[in-house]
């Protein structure tokens, strides 16, 4: 459903990305205005039927930037790379049935000192992808705090999806069970899946599920229960985990 891109691995974060990742934190409101202008320019140059703002949230190091790069460019960032400073964004147009949906994906810094910057962006978000690292119990324990921030700063009807990233890890490295993620998602009534930016597992599915949900809401079909993002995620993840049937 998105454009096909040859897979390859980036050994480290490029100088371009280093510069791009720092482009707003130090400039404050002036930087925010510049981003809004850049946003508008890209809206005018890329044809689409629907524009949706999606934010990536979670502790530092859970893989937000890697998830974005995997989805946007089908690449994996290996080795050391520079953490996101403040906030950054990329666009990608995907096709949902016959509708072109532009996902404007905002990658946020997970460090506490950048929270005041990212809070300003919550209000305009249509969807939030909240990540934790399945090898880092603290990042999972902090999910409740992140959900508290979402409740305080985001719109009441924002679409929320919980992602347990780095699921490609060895079992000995895992500190958060899949069942724990599922239980927390049920408690907060949000969709859930485990992902891997390294292998690409469920990365495109996460963004496409969000795009389908937002498209359904825009078309008014959401109120008719014709599409449910949680049910869609369950069905699709079962397809990917189910072994091939033998003939």
Of the candidates 51, 125, 129, which has an alpha carbon nearest to the alpha carbon of residue 92?
51
Containing 161, the helix (H) or strand (E) segment is strand 159-165
Predicted pLDDT at 41: 53
Judging by beta carbons within 10 Å of its beta carbon (0-12, 13-18, 19+), is residue 234 exposed, middle or buried? middle
Domain that holds residue 18: 8-240
| Six-digit token string for 38 | 């850049």
Using 50, 70 and 90 to split pLDDT, how confident is the model at 78? Answer: confident
Predicted pLDDT at 122: 92
Domain presence at residue 61: yes
Locate tokens 């239980």: which residue? Answer: 183
Using 50, 70 and 90 to split pLDDT, how confident is the model at 228? Answer: confident
Proportion of the chain above pLDDT 70, given as a percent: 70
How many domains is the chain built from? 1
Domain presence at residue 2: no
Least confident interval from 65-79, 136-150, 218-232: 218-232
CB 134 within 8 A of CB 176: yes
**Of residues 31 and 161, more confidently modeled:** 161
Least confident interval from 37-46, 163-172, 187-196: 37-46
Predicted pLDDT at 230: 83
**DSSP helix/strand/coil, 18:** helix
Q: pTM of the full predicted structure?
A: 0.76
- CATH number for the domain that contains residue 136: 3.40.50.300
Domain presence at residue 165: yes
Task: Tell me the CA distances in angstroms from 50 to 68, 92, 97, one per residue in order.
Answer: 20, 12, 13
Domain presence at residue 25: yes
| Six-digit token string for 96 | 């949902």
- What is the DSSP track for 33-80? HHHHHHHHHHHHHS--SEEEEEEEEESTTSSHHHHHHHHHHSEEE-S-
Taking the C-alpha atoms of residue 158 and residue 153, their distance in angstroms, rounded to an integer, is: 11
* Residues 85-137 pLDDT 10s: 557 889 999 999 999 999 999 998 756 666 777 888 899 999 999 999 999 99
Taking the C-alpha atoms of residue 17 and residue 19, their distance in angstroms, rounded to an integer, is: 5
**Of residues 113 and 164, more confidently modeled:** 164
Q: Is the pLDDT of residue 5 over 50?
A: no
Least confident interval from 33-47, 149-163, 164-178: 33-47
CB 170 within 8 A of CB 196: no
| Average pLDDT taken over every residue of the chain | 80
Q: Is the pLDDT of residue 32 over 60?
A: no
Domain presence at residue 1: no
Taking the C-alpha atoms of residue 228 and residue 247, their distance in angstroms, rounded to an integer, is: 32
CB 56 within 8 A of CB 11: no
**Of residues 1 and 16, more confidently modeled:** 1
Taking the C-alpha atoms of residue 191 and residue 162, their distance in angstroms, rounded to an integer, is: 6
The residues that bridge with 51 in the sheet, in sequence order, are 102
Domain presence at residue 245: no
What does the pLDDT average to over 60-75? 94
Domain presence at residue 87: yes
Of the candidates 126, 156, 39, which has an alpha carbon nearest to the alpha carbon of residue 91?
39
Count of C-beta atoms within a 10 Å radius of residue 56: 25
Taking the C-alpha atoms of residue 208 and residue 234, their distance in angstroms, rounded to an integer, is: 13
- 8-state DSSP, 82: P
């Amino acid at each position: 459903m998105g454009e096909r891109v040859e897979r390859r691995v980036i050994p480290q974060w490029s100088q371009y990305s280093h510069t791009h990742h720092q482009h707003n934190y130090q400039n404050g409101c002036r930087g925010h205005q510049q981003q809004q202008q850049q946003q508008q320019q890209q809206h005018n140059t890329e044809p689409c039927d629907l524009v949706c703002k999606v934010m990536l949230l979670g502790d530092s190091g859970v893989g937000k930037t890697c998830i974005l790069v995997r989805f946007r460019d089908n690449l994996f960032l290996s080795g050391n790379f520079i953490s996101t400073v403040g906030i950054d964004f990329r666009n990608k147009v995907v096709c949902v049935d016959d509708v072109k949906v532009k996902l404007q994906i905002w990658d946020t810094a997970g460090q506490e000192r950048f929270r005041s910057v990212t809070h300003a962006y919550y209000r305009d978000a249509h969807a939030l992808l909240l990540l934790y690292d399945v090898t880092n119990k603290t990042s999972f324990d902090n999910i409740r705090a992140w959900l508290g921030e979402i409740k305080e700063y985001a719109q009441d009807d924002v679409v929320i999806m919980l992602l347990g990233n780095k699921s490609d890890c060895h079992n000995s490295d895992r500190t958060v069970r899949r069942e724990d993620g599922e239980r927390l998602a049920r408690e907060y009534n949000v969709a859930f899946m485990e992902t891997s930016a390294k292998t690409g597992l469920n990365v495109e599915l996460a963004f496409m599920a969000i795009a389908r949900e937002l498209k359904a809401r825009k078309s008014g079909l959401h109120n008719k229960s014709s599409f449910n993002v949680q049910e869609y995620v369950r069905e699709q993840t079962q397809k990917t985990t189910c072994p091939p049937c033998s003939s």
